[in-house]
Structure 1
Amino acid sequence: MVMTDGRAVLRGRGTRDERVLDTVLRVEGLTKRYGRRVAVQGLALKLRRGEVLGLLGPNGAGKTTAIAMILGLVRPDAGTIEILGVDATRERERALRRVGAIIESPSFYPYLSGIDNLRVLALARGGVPERRFAEVLELVGLTGRERERVSSYSLGMRQRLAIAGALLHQPELLILDEPTNGLDPQGMAEIRQLILRLAAEGQTILLCSHLLYEVQQVCDRVVILSQGQVVAEGDVEELLAQRTRTALRVDDPPRAIELLSEVEWIERIEQEGDLLLLTMPSERQFELSALLHAHGIAVGELRVQSRTLEEFFLDVTGPSTTPGGRGVA
């Protein structure tokens, strides 16, 4: 949670001016080793203004290390980090003035009220206008509860108060590391709606979460890490479209499998009872139907089966990375 210096950035004619305006965070070749273990290897990512980017990966993938390097908490062994055109490895304080962040569980003075905790945070960073407290409290849905002691707050309310604190100085980049960790379903829904509201108002957000269902609903793009390296990245809808499956029901599954195994544009064939699930380009369904008909195989059902982000994640990182089958840490 660091304040912004309020400096305006204007579009100029040069390439660098355009980059500063449109790109809030740029990371290139970011690498960190701990002895022989490589925590992050050559990480590259770009976060554009007004975008919500999800940083995902299984335990030990390097997410936390990457976030720590971006925030200047860990020194990288190689690579560059630019925040709104400022080299964060060389001018850390200047770059981080424009960043708000929540890392791990937020800490507050339990016997102070919510608004007094915000005042403490503001004073530690140079102060803000009095009206700003009311603005952020309204934004996170704590208006009317701000004078109650934080010790009486639910975990979800404390998390929303932490986000209010991160927003006090109107950061141009908001970094949220596991913002729904430990929350009940209602608390998760509240944080999800808050992130969607911030995104609708143009806030640029880097979100690190293990709840893939949440990420799919709030993020524009995702970067997936595995063993310190990027294994997939892109627009959420486009990534899922690449991994759609075609559900096929035929009268002779064994013969269909034998035939379709020789088709080069079918990547994978899975069988669930009498249903075949084909990983293939969805636009080739007509060719698929014609091929089966030509070989005397009757088709009872043929449809595109959309995939979830969780299924995509398991495809690119391996099935052992999601304990309980629901998310990643």
Structure 2
Amino acid sequence: MFELVEVTKKYRNHEALKQLRFVIEPGVTAVVGPNGAGKTTLFNILTGRIFPTCGTVFYNGQPVEKIRGNLGYLFEDPPFYPYLTAENQLGYFNALREYPVEAHEVERELEKWDIPPKGKKIKDFSQGMRKRLGLANAFLGNPQIVILDEPFNGLDLEGQQLLEDTFVTYRSKDRFLIFSSHQLERITLLADRIVILDQGRLVYTGETKELAEQATKVIFYLPGDISMDLLRTPLVLEIGKRGVLVTAAVQKEKGPLFLQHLAEHGIVPQSSRLLISELEYVFEEKQVSRRLPY
């Protein structure tokens, strides 16, 4: 397991991480927090790319720098040479590894992620294909530890499904997949555990299902052209906006009544999910929502 002991990271007068103390068990762990919470800084420390100002990170009792040979990492915006092909780029990254894999494994990883054929240069890749190449590099050699910074951002739907399928293989007693995401719906489905950061401080760490059990509300995602009059009912606690959709927060036990209310007016929700905590609601408001007046 990973163990963080009073980990602090300072940049001049700014503390990016503040005395973090927690453990990360094997399996799939999501790191969540608003922009500037310290997620990327934490990942850079876990991968040994930077060192904490004070405090220590251990992996199975040893300093974290010892794990680089068995680690895969995805930057949010992977650095590639634009005039290389995918095969050449991945081969180059492989040559830099402490323990390079055989050439056929490089080819197999490219095939797994359905990377374009030989000859196409990375400068001509779409954002989604660049992200696939970054994932191919992170998972090359089937490492025991994989750390992914916003892996779903910019990834096409087929690529997202491939990645979700890969997550399943890391739900074991001796493997680690640690990722960040702003997509809270996906986190609740994929993560065994969750770490929540805010302004460099640890807010929560524990099993995702424990948070789900604390849920008291359901949020419904509704068509953007829905009449606001239809939502002005005692059943609805809060109305908001999420992209082109309207959101309605309802007490969990009153969810079936609200669905019946919508059905009587011919409205079908796009989707719904539990609000796993009041903290999540605050996080979501900071990131992607704006409240609407009744």
Pairwise TM-score range, normalised by the shorter structure: 0.7 to 0.9
Tell whether 2:7 aligns with 1:27.
no
SS in 1 for 2:142: coil
Q: Gapped runs of 5+ residues in structure 2?
A: 220-230, 238-248, 260-271
Two-structure CA RMSD over aligned residues (Å): 3.5
Which of 274, 280, 285 is the equivalent residue of 1:307? 274
Residue 57 of structure 1, CA deviation: 0.8
TM-score when normalising by structure 1? 0.65
Residue 146 of structure 1, CA deviation: 4.6
Which residue matches 1:252? none
Q: Could you say which structure has the larger radius of gyration?
A: 1
Contact between 1:179 and 1:191, CA under 8 Å: does it hold in 2? Answer: no
The CA deviation string for residues 88-110 of structure 1, in whole angstroms up to 9 with x for no partner, is 2xxx2x22222111123112233
Which residue matches 2:165? 197
Which residue matches 1:57? 33
Which of 273, 277, 280 is the equivalent residue of 2:233? 273
Residues 276 and 129 of structure 1: is their aligned pair in 2 closer, same or farther, counting only changes over 3 Å? closer
SS in 2 for 1:210: coil
Residue 225 of structure 1, CA deviation: 0.8
1:1-329 pair list within 5 angstroms? 23=1, 25-49=2-26, 51-88=27-64, 92=65, 94-125=66-97, 127-142=100-115, 145-181=117-153, 183=154, 187-202=155-170, 204-245=176-217, 273-275=233-235, 307-308=274-275, 312-315=279-282, 317=283, 319=285, 321-324=286-289
SS in 2 for 1:73: coil
Contact between 1:38 and 1:228, CA under 8 Å: does it hold in 2? Answer: yes
The CA deviation string for residues 168-194 of structure 1, in whole angstroms up to 9 with x for no partner, is 23321111112233x2xxx34334323
Residue 195 of structure 1, CA deviation: 2.6
Matches of 2:151 and 2:136, distance apart in 1 = 12
Identity %: 29
Residue 130 of structure 1, CA deviation: 1.7
Residue 309 of structure 1, CA deviation: 5.2
Q: Which amino acid aligns with 1:274?
A: P
Residue 204 of structure 1, CA deviation: 2.4
Contact between 1:28 and 1:44, CA under 8 Å: does it hold in 2? Answer: yes
SS in 2 for 1:81: strand
Aligned residues: 252
Contact between 1:222 and 1:234, CA under 8 Å: does it hold in 2? Answer: yes
Contact between 1:243 and 1:312, CA under 8 Å: does it hold in 2? Answer: no
Which residue matches 1:6? none
Matches of 2:112 and 2:206, distance apart in 1 = 29
Contact between 1:213 and 1:309, CA under 8 Å: does it hold in 2? Answer: no
Matches of 1:69 and 1:245, distance apart in 2 = 36
Residue 71 of structure 1, CA deviation: 2.2
Contact between 2:34 and 2:198, CA under 8 Å: does it hold in 1? Answer: yes
SS in 2 for 1:26: strand
Residues 81 and 314 of structure 1: is their aligned pair in 2 closer, same or farther, counting only changes over 3 Å? same
Contact between 1:137 and 1:161, CA under 8 Å: does it hold in 2? Answer: yes
SS in 2 for 1:60: coil
